[in-house]
Amino acid sequence: MQERKWLTLSTVSIGTFMATLDGSIVNISLPNIQQAFGIDLPTVDWVVIAYLLVVGTVLLPFGRLGEVLTFRRVYIAGFALFTGASVLCGAAPSAGALIGFRILQGVGAGMLQAMGPAIVARTFGVHERGRALGLNAISVSVGLSIGPALGGFLTELGSWRAIFLINAPVGIFAILWAARILPPEERGHGQSFDLRGAVLSGVALFALLLALTEGQAWGWSSAAVLGLGAAFVGVGAAFLVREARARHPMIDLQLFRDRAFSAGLASVVIAFAGLFTATFLMPFLLENGSGFSPIEAGLLLTPIPITTALVAPFSGAFSDRVGPRLPASAGIAIMCLGLLALTQLPERFAVADLVWRLVLVGVGQGLFMSPNSSSVLGAVPRSRLGTASGTLAQMRIDGQAVGIAVSGAIVAARMPIHVAELTGRVGQAAAQREAFVLAIHDAFVVAAVVCAAGIVTSLVRGPVSRERPSEAAVRDLGA
């Protein structure tokens, strides 16, 4: 029935919110964690890095596992693991234990993120899927928006442990709610889980994400980064060979022949690379380049997720009527314009000068996200919704990592050039500060060029050719 569909969406939205929140709430408490355990900065950074690496490693396997064991089981198990690991994080006796528990928490978050879009796509028919995904996108934006502020409030009110322990009551409620609302499912008949393929994909993705995450710190030409790159290529090739020969592959390579699927995945990597260039570099620009405090910088960045949350439901509903190609392509184009506008931000700017540029980026992201996700999920048969959902989430993580890595490399490469150009015309301190700002502007230009390529990948997607899976799911639910 109609009410059951929206209740199902509520369970997915809670999981999406918690997984997203936990990726953003921790950063503000890192200084307190560092002081509590008496550890150095590189060590405390792994409280964040370990979580993100694990999430990015397990999305593909859990997407497939949901097809074999049922989405409901994997989703509820993920919630239970996420909640239990959160309690363990809050009670961690040492930094090593905290990082270990964050790994467990990342596994649970990966299960939630891999299953969420699949459950939505299975539940809603073709004429409602975009709207439902757009409403679910609000959870992502809210999690990103309130994470830093809530983390600061909880740390100030209690301690850093509170940012993890608060997940316990919410998680228990969410598990009970999901168990009550999500309908029973039958396991995939004749399906088996490709454990060897899962291991190969996990190793390859871990190597790639670790290289992108630590490349700037270790040096892009260091033995560690080059070795990780070689491991990604070698193990990734072995994974593709395995999947081509497996009777029940973890990911059906034939899916990539569908332009709606492959172009949608390419577009999401590009869009999130551009978005995270902005969100990664803007705090440095605001704090180091313009002298804002961390709290002020955090507040100044909220226009992107707030605007995305406002636009995404409407763009999703619009794509249900006209198809995903137009709104998704327009969204990337507007993101491109927003990034170019950021390159023209004056050194001494009014808040309004910054806000309208960030709103432009947020409008583009909101226009793009829901239609693109609907296009990817609508391009696969029902039996492969888990794979499509996990792959879509994986591409978002990869795009984020690429955006952060490329933007950091550009700033590091361009800053000495700008310093040399400015030295002699202004003082040394002023040259360093101005060169830093100019190098960030260079990174925004590259991000805009990348987004321009995303317009092409979005436009070349063909019409979604297989709309039956979600409609069949609605009938199964008795809607």
Instruction: Tell me what the mean pLDDT of segment 262-287 comes to.
Output: 86
Selection from 259, 233, 179, 167 nearest residue 8 by Cα = 179
Question: Where residue 463 falls among pLDDT bands split at 50, 70, 90?
Answer: low
Q: Tell me, what's the pLDDT at 269?
A: 92
Each residue's pLDDT tens digit, 124-151: 887 888 888 888 888 887 887 777 777 7
Higher-scoring residue by pLDDT: 80, 24: 80
Q: Is 374's pLDDT higher than 70?
A: yes
> What kind of fold does domain 2-193+250-476 have according to CATH?
Growth Hormone; Chain: A; (1.20.1250)
Q: pLDDT-based confidence at 479, cuts 50/70/90?
A: very low
CB 453 within 8 A of CB 270: yes
Q: Determine phi and psi for 344, rounding to 5 degrees.
A: -100, 10
The overall average pLDDT reported for the chain is 86
What are the C-alpha distances in Å from 453 to residues 296, 373, 388, 408, 446? 33, 18, 23, 20, 11
pTM of the model: 0.82
Contact 179, 56 (CB under 8 A): no
Query: How much is the average pLDDT of 224-248?
Result: 92
Residue 239's pLDDT is what? 93
pLDDT at 29 over 50: yes
- CA-to-CA distance for 128 and 134, rounded, in angstroms? 10
Q: Of 404 and 465, which is predicted with more confidence?
A: 404
Flag whether pLDDT at 42 surpasses 80.
no
Q: What is the pLDDT of residue 125?
A: 80
- Give the pLDDT confidence score for residue 262 in this predicted structure: 92
273 against 125, higher pLDDT: 273
* Per-domain residue ranges of the chain: 2-193+250-476, 194-249
Query: What integer pLDDT is reported at residue 154 of this predicted model?
Result: 82
Residue with tokens 């009938």: 475
Q: Are 309 and 138 in contact (CB under 8 A)?
A: yes
pLDDT value of position 462: 67
Q: Report CA 116 to chain centroid distance, whole Å.
A: 13
- Say what the pLDDT of residue 85 is: 95
d(CA 164, CA 206): 25
Average pLDDT of 161-175? 91
- For residues 16-21, average pLDDT: 85
Q: Higher pLDDT residue, 171 or 152?
A: 171
Res. 472 pLDDT band, cuts 50 70 90:
very low
pLDDT at 1: 53
In sequence order, which residues have a C-beta less than 8 Å from that of residue 169 and are 6 or more positions away?
Answer: none
